[in-house]
Structure 1
Amino acid sequence: MPTTSSWFTAAMAFSQAYPEILVSFACFIFFILYCQVFRRSSLPVNWPLVGMFPGLLSNLPRLHQWGIGLFRETGCTFWFRGPWLLGFNYLATCDPANLQHVFNTHFSNYPKGEEFLKILDILGDGIFNSDGEAWKRQRLRAHGLISDRRFRAFVACASRDKVEKGLVPLLDEIARRGTVVDLQDVFLRLTFDMTSNLVFGVDPCCLSIDFPTIPFARAVDDAMSTIFIRHVIPPAWWKLMRWLRIGEEKKLATAWKVIDDFIAECIAEKKKLKSLEREKDGVEPKSDLLSAYINDEEEKEQADHKFLRDTALNFMLAGRDTTGAGLAWFFWLLSKNPAVEFKILEELKSIVQKEERSSSDCPTMFDSEELSKLVYLHAALCESLRLYPPVPFEHKAAVQPEVLPSGHRVEQGTKILVALYSMGRMEGIWGKDCMEFRPERWISEKGRVKHEPSYKFLSFNSGPRTCLGKEVAFTQMKAVVAAMLYNFQVEVLEGHAVEPKLSIILHMKNGLKVRFKTRAHV
């Protein structure tokens, strides 16, 4: 067995015999550090064999800020070259002309792609992952359910009910105690309860003063973190870890089981209730999405457990994480822009004065119909989503070779990465004040909400795959914002560091630590 001294002796002998190798290696390391630290260019060096991967790794902790510099320097589109032969090359873009081409004009040539389906395998064959005819069938069915008048009324009623009976009493108690809470956690619990109610027809009561741990919610968070890692390392690496069940892939496997068990239990309970409804005449069917899919007997596919599981998980992810993240960033931006908060409050006061509501100690609540008429509130939410899109990047893959409007040629199978976070910070797209939180950019000269093309404002996707839950999300966010702002003052803890978390959903890395005070209206 070699001793430490023998290893040291061997190393010394090697250095004496091959000093040029050690010098060359030292120079190589120094050159890498020099290029990454002292170069003025944001573009990473495209090294032999490893490509730009070292640059990606060195900038990973500040990935979003790094991306902004890259797109500004390259004119909104550049090639990222990964390690050779590992299938890790991307055409990254936030050019509106390219996005109009990919998401609208030539939509059929840019499906999600096989690699995307592998990265997001936990979502199964749900609407997020599906392409072609399968996607068309699912979207048509989902559109019919979500646009149904009864479901819209259910969303509005359930949102107000949860805010009035769940969120406001919780915040009132927190304000009374004077405790510091993580507002992002509060929002994720709130939207988890809301989405569970819309999808399953069940409120798990995740939002309560004791802040209970919900295994399903924790499992979704773990899954999203692992999926992000899959985006930033070569596919062969994470597939090997999955096969060995180590590292992040082991965490994903554990989370996957928790998610499947939770949804299986909900499906079984829902089918049991359906059987009871059949036995009783005159029982009105539930308005939640899962009940609607189970009740639909026109297609045999709807009764399939895997289909129901995949559909439910896709809806849960779309409703819980995106809306919760969007609300957290919105209130952080308000804390930095008190003038915007003041204008929203003035709009809310106009409703109260118009309705001539009597003053009382009870919290003031607002109906979705009232809130839908508020222009500045809607503009402020759009502006927040522009700067902090809940889904910070999108994936596409080319089916046939062609040249994009930017002049970049894509071949069959070329992966395209769309950077939504960077897009909101490009002067060429949003003007010199692109870094500012300015809701006025969304208001026309006539005082109405200004429309921006979806390929420029991509927070709800664009083209045929535009988010079906857009109006649902706005209904929920407006209900939450109005009740919170009118009844409470939200104070972000001084010195609290806020930065994006590395995940496929734009969560805050350290949460959002705040205090609440009851707002007095004179």
Structure 2
Amino acid sequence: MPTLLTTMSTSFSQELLISTLVLSLLVPLYFYLKSSRSKSPAVLPTNWPIVGVLPSLLANLHNLHDYLTAVLAGSGHNFRANGPPGTGMRFFVTCDPDNVRHIFTTNYANFPKGAEFAMIFDIMGGSFFTVDGEPCRRQRAKIQSVLTNPRLLARMTACCRDKVENGLLPVFTRMASTGTPFDVQDLITRFVFDLTATPVFGVDPGLLSSDMPPMNRAVAMDTVMEVALFRHTVPASCWKAMRRLNIGPERKLAAAHTVLRGFITEMMERRKKNEGVGNEEAPSSVDILSSYIDDPDYQDDELLRATLINYMIAGRDTIGTTLPWVFYNLAQNPRVVSIIRSELSPIAAPKAEAATCAGDIVVFEPEETKSLVYLKAALYESLRLYPPGPIERKTVVADDVMPSGHEVHAGDTLFISLHSMGRMEGVWGKDCLEYNPDRWLSDDGQKLRYVPSHKFLAFNSGPRMCLGKDIALMQMKTVVAAVVWNFDVEVVQGQSIEPKLSCILQMKNGLTIKLKKREM
């Protein structure tokens, strides 16, 4: 009988051998493709002997989302791809809404996230983000009970309003008074990190405090998403071998895991220290952690830690990724800004007259923006073009036939390109590449049109529909209303605005803007 050590050694040797063989074939082919690629990608990626489509994918990785969009537009919204033999890389890529409905709703049980997805996001292993089946249903029910707690919702609403008034707007006002260009993505990252962590732990990390401390925790979360994309696009044997050798992206990821685990421990200790001491940070049992810490299903420290990281990433990534794109879109579309201000005017006028806000800065209560139709349409339009999670991954359990007529087989990996779906003429019309909130409005402009979730997938669809959707929209509307009403936003010219290589659609180089205080 082989010993466990011998088995592990053999497994690692196999991973290393496969990785070496694959990379020895890929590297020269990759550099050849990179040096000879044209600006217009082929309709379909080349399916090379032995290595499959992997070189084409790697050669276009710098521009992955636009590359997939071009390929999907030229192939009828669907294409099949294979990696090197023995790697298990068999892909079906789609942005077809009918296929999406089949995957996410009609035959949902046949398309779980799967074991490899859980390995890719191992920092959240066992939490809602990575599990399927009955564990997913149980954890979803738990999350729903947590996020519908009226006291917690009230605290999250109050936290958002306070962070906007006393955190974000003072910085914006200072930048406007000096005319100083600044990276709004960096500032929004700080704001959203604090906004997410405060109701999770009952204490404020203070990334948006006056001294602007280092953002190593937020950077660690970014690293998780960046390395996850790398893991998605190479054979599992490659990244597993790198993980064991602690080299390349895996070394960076291991350091990020250490930072995140340390952050969770620190925040839990701060919460215990503050509990019951009578200061304003005392959680008074109105935080997400309180709902889990005594739950018998979450007594395992690893599961509790993974769950808290899950909340942090889910809460942070949606609005933290979306808001910079919203400001970018609004800065290019003054007509849209004018309409939003007209919608805000009846709410803002009595506030300005009462002069309750220092420096004539108007702050909108979250409840006041709840019914604003055009503001919501403007947010949806940014989410259509720049979904925070641009790609979804699923696994095929049993052979099936897609509504498009394509066959998929057990063990295949499905990639659903949300980024591409928002840019398909066959889905959104000839103006699909234009930022146009009017497409979301009814004929009379008084309400939003119904758009099914399998066509607009920013908040997922089917049994995994995002439970925090209303909270995220409340937070984004509160921020955007305050910024649009009080400031003119100008994007500094000469920037390269492009997505980062990540599982979330952050801007690679940030977004440098200048602000000017509006004359009321």
What is the TM-score of this pair, normalised by structure 1? Answer: 0.89
Counterpart residue number, 2:396: 398
Counterpart residue number, 1:473: 472
Counterpart residue number, 1:24: none
Q: Contact 2:41–2:71 at 8 Å: present in 1 too?
A: no
Q: Contact 1:222–1:252 at 8 Å: present in 2 too?
A: yes
Letter in 2 for 1:313: I
Shift of 1:39: 8.4
Q: Contact 1:64–1:422 at 8 Å: present in 2 too?
A: yes
CA displacement, residues 408-445 of structure 1 (integer Å, 9 cap, x when unaligned): 11111211001000000001111111111111111112
**3-state DSSP class of the match of 1:353?**
helix
Shift of 1:33: 8.1
Counterpart residue number, 2:292: 293
Counterpart residue number, 1:439: 437
Counterpart residue number, 1:151: 152
> What is the rounded CA distance, in whole Å, between the counterparts of 2:492 and 2:214 in structure 1?
24
Change beyond 3 A, Cα 1:83–1:475: same
Please list, as runs of the form range in 1=range in 2, the aligned pairs for 1:82-481 lying within 5 A after superposition: 82-271=83-272, 285-294=284-293, 297=294, 299-353=295-349, 357-359=353-355, 361-446=359-444, 447-481=446-480
> What is the rounded CA distance, in whole Å, between the counterparts of 2:247 and 2:42 in structure 1?
37
> What is the rounded CA distance, in whole Å, between the counterparts of 1:303 and 1:266 in structure 2?
17
Percentage of matched positions with identical amino acids: 45
**3-state DSSP class of the match of 1:407?**
coil
Change beyond 3 A, Cα 1:161–1:46: same
Counterpart residue number, 1:496: 495
**3-state DSSP class of the match of 2:166?**
helix
Q: Contact 2:488–2:517 at 8 Å: present in 1 too?
A: yes
Shift of 1:345: 1.1
Letter in 1 for 2:66: Q
Letter in 2 for 1:498: I
Shift of 1:259: 0.6
**3-state DSSP class of the match of 2:393?**
strand
Counterpart residue number, 1:3: none
Please list, as runs of the form range in 1=range in 2, the aligned pairs for 1:44-59 lying within 5 A after superposition: 44-59=45-60
Shift of 1:37: 3.8
Q: Contact 2:176–2:517 at 8 Å: present in 1 too?
A: yes
**3-state DSSP class of the match of 1:91?**
strand
Change beyond 3 A, Cα 1:240–1:356: closer
CA displacement, residues 148-191 of structure 1 (integer Å, 9 cap, x when unaligned): 22222112111001100100111111222221110011111100
Change beyond 3 A, Cα 1:338–1:30: closer
> What is the rounded CA distance, in whole Å, between the counterparts of 1:345 and 1:32 in structure 2?
49
Shift of 1:252: 0.4
CA displacement, residues 423-481 of structure 1 (integer Å, 9 cap, x when unaligned): 00001111111111111111112410122111100000000101111011001101110
Q: Contact 2:221–2:260 at 8 Å: present in 1 too?
A: yes
Shift of 1:262: 1.1
**3-state DSSP class of the match of 2:360?**
coil
Change beyond 3 A, Cα 1:448–1:210: same
Question: What are structure 1's unaligned runs of at least 5 residues?
Answer: 1-27
> What is the rounded CA distance, in whole Å, between the counterparts of 1:284 and 1:220 in structure 2?
24
Letter in 2 for 1:180: P
What is the TM-score of this pair, normalised by structure 2? Answer: 0.89
> What is the rounded CA distance, in whole Å, between the counterparts of 2:73 and 2:139 in structure 1?
38
Shift of 1:291: 1.7
Q: Contact 1:36–1:44 at 8 Å: present in 2 too?
A: no
Q: Does 1:74 align with 2:70?
A: no
Q: Contact 2:78–2:92 at 8 Å: present in 1 too?
A: yes
Q: What RMSD in Å do the two structures reach over aligned CA positions?
A: 2.2
CA displacement, residues 197-237 of structure 1 (integer Å, 9 cap, x when unaligned): 12111111111454321321121122221111111211111
> What is the rounded CA distance, in whole Å, between the counterparts of 2:77 and 2:163 in structure 1?
42
> What is the rounded CA distance, in whole Å, between the counterparts of 1:34 and 1:174 in structure 2?
43
> What is the rounded CA distance, in whole Å, between the counterparts of 1:324 and 1:347 in structure 2?
24
> What is the rounded CA distance, in whole Å, between the counterparts of 1:355 and 1:180 in structure 2?
29
> What is the rounded CA distance, in whole Å, between the counterparts of 1:134 and 1:269 in structure 2?
30
Q: Contact 1:223–1:251 at 8 Å: present in 2 too?
A: no
> What is the rounded CA distance, in whole Å, between the counterparts of 1:304 and 1:216 in structure 2?
23
> What is the rounded CA distance, in whole Å, between the counterparts of 1:187 and 1:356 in structure 2?
26
Letter in 1 for 2:439: R
Greater C-alpha Rg: 1
Shift of 1:399: 1.2
> What is the rounded CA distance, in whole Å, between the counterparts of 2:460 and 2:32 in structure 1?
41
Shift of 1:519: 1.1
> What is the rounded CA distance, in whole Å, between the counterparts of 2:241 and 2:213 in structure 1?
35
> What is the rounded CA distance, in whole Å, between the counterparts of 2:443 and 2:57 in structure 1?
44
Letter in 1 for 2:340: I
Say which is worse superposed, 264-273 or 360-369, in terms of deviation.
Answer: 264-273
Letter in 1 for 2:329: L
> What is the rounded CA distance, in whole Å, between the counterparts of 2:141 and 2:93 in structure 1?
30
Change beyond 3 A, Cα 1:32–1:266: closer
Q: Contact 1:270–1:291 at 8 Å: present in 2 too?
A: no
> What is the rounded CA distance, in whole Å, between the counterparts of 1:209 and 1:500 in structure 2?
29
Letter in 1 for 2:495: H
Say which is worse superposed, 406-415 or 473-482, in terms of deviation.
Answer: 406-415
Change beyond 3 A, Cα 1:33–1:486: closer
Counterpart residue number, 2:16: none
> What is the rounded CA distance, in whole Å, between the counterparts of 1:391 and 1:50 in structure 2?
28
> What is the rounded CA distance, in whole Å, between the counterparts of 1:113 and 1:154 in structure 2?
35
Q: Contact 1:36–1:55 at 8 Å: present in 2 too?
A: no
Letter in 2 for 1:432: K
**3-state DSSP class of the match of 2:51?**
coil
Q: Contact 1:111–1:397 at 8 Å: present in 2 too?
A: yes
Say which is worse superposed, 443-452 or 165-174, in terms of deviation.
Answer: 443-452
Letter in 1 for 2:372: L
Letter in 2 for 1:219: A
Change beyond 3 A, Cα 1:126–1:29: closer
Shift of 1:292: 2.1
Shift of 1:89: 2.0
> What is the rounded CA distance, in whole Å, between the counterparts of 2:117 and 2:477 in structure 1?
33
Q: Contact 1:343–1:376 at 8 Å: present in 2 too?
A: yes
Change beyond 3 A, Cα 1:37–1:127: same
Counterpart residue number, 1:485: 484
Question: What are structure 2's unaligned runs of at least 5 residues?
Answer: 1-28
> What is the rounded CA distance, in whole Å, between the counterparts of 2:223 and 2:271 in structure 1?
27
CA displacement, residues 322-357 of structure 1 (integer Å, 9 cap, x when unaligned): 211100000001111111111111111122236674
> What is the rounded CA distance, in whole Å, between the counterparts of 1:235 and 1:431 in structure 2?
38
